[in-house]
Amino acid sequence: MQLNMQDTYDEYGDVKDTLSEWVQGHKKHVPLLSGLQFSNLHLRTRKDIVFTETATQGLYFSFIGSKAINNVSDIDAVQIHYQSEDVTGQFSMKALEERSLLQVLISTDYLALILGQTEAQVIQHFTSMEQVLSNDNNCIQLPFTQSMADLCKPILKHTGLSISLAGHIYSCIFTLIEQMQMLKHLSECQGCQSKLFKAQNLLEKSNEGIFEPDELALSVGLNIDALSIGFMHLVGESIETYHQRSRIALAAAKLRQDPSSKHTVIKQSGFSEEQFETVFSQHFGVSSNQYRQIH
């Protein structure tokens, strides 16, 4: 099935009733100021669908989630992308798949005005950053740090005038630009990279329990934002995801060695029993009891 995104939503930003059999969700669009737009999008498909969408020229700051974004805990990562011209493309979603994002679109001339630079300087900066830092999707990906979460909370709770919402969004944009520059430094600095690898080694040694990111940052001599940003860039996962995966992999190895040791393994892992079963199923696709029977 194929759908055009422009034909998917009604005048209120909700999926049209005529399409509800195949797709659910919303796209709440807020035109804030000339050159600045804000959108909250959520899609959940009931069958395989190929969507066609047009992206206009500008800078995109996107907060990505896998379910409807109602609070900051629903945000998984951040992507930054400069779109040099209007382009129409397609993306596909499988049945029962969900995608969500909060997205800020700002024109390059408007951002240049805010930053006190020329439009050419802004375009050159983001183009050169993407050449060095972009992933396979031609986006710069950043972890969703605690400092960014604090800035996003008033955006998600906002019910006042658009001008005050724009102020919160400016704060997010400026912080993301700083974090992007931090990422560039971390990707080039051997001393910083050695600290990041040290953090990875410490996580491996401490994977039988909880190791808080702020403790880890202090141990290796980086601030928490630098550690989070650099770790994701070098390892490909957030600190929390990497540590969780390491802990559950170690737990599985122990269960293979001694299937009767489940209670002790859970206690050593640092998870509650409910958390353990949830993470175990997510990682291995079966419950720990089924895993013990298989192995």
User: 96-142 pLDDT, tens per residue?
Assistant: 999 999 999 999 999 999 999 999 999 999 999 999 999 888 999 99
Q: What is the pLDDT of residue 26?
A: 95
Token pair 């000339």 is at which residue? Answer: 34
Domain 2-188 has CATH 2.60.120: yes
How far is it, in rounded angstroms, from Cα 222 to Cα 230?
10
pLDDT, residue 206, reads 64
User: Averaged over 74-84, what is the pLDDT?
Assistant: 96
In angstroms, rounded to a whole number, what is the distance separating the alpha carbons of residues 149 and 145? 6
Which structure tokens are listed for 7?
A: 């034909």
- pLDDT of residue 161 exceeding 90, the answer is no
pTM (two decimals):
0.86
pLDDT beyond 70 at 92: yes
Max Cα-Cα span within the chain: 67
User: What's the confidence (pLDDT) of residue 209?
Assistant: 54
Per-residue pLDDT for 248 more than 60?
Answer: yes
Contact 76, 141 (CB under 8 A): no
Over residues 63-92, mean pLDDT: 95
Question: Residue ranges per domain, the chain?
Answer: 2-188, 190-295
Structure confidence at residue 119 (pLDDT):
97
Helix, strand, or coil here: 50? strand
To the nearest whole number, what is the mean pLDDT of the chain?
91
Average pLDDT value for residue range 230-256: 86
Reply yes or no on whether the pLDDT at 1 is more than 80. yes
The domain defined by 190-295 carries CATH number 1.10.10.60: yes
In this predicted model, what pLDDT tens digit does every residue of 167-222 receive, in sequence order?
999 999 999 999 999 999 999 999 999 999 999 998 887 655 556 889 999 999 99
Which uninterrupted H or E stretch holds 40? strand 36-45
pLDDT for res 264? 86
Q: Whose CA is closest to 234, among 186, 178, 293? A: 186
Q: Output the pLDDT for position 286.
A: 81
pLDDT of residue 253 exceeding 90, the answer is no
Is pLDDT larger for residue 279 or for residue 37?
37
Q: How confident is the model at residue 294 (pLDDT cuts 50, 70, 90)?
A: low
Pull the structure tokens for residue 46: 């009931």
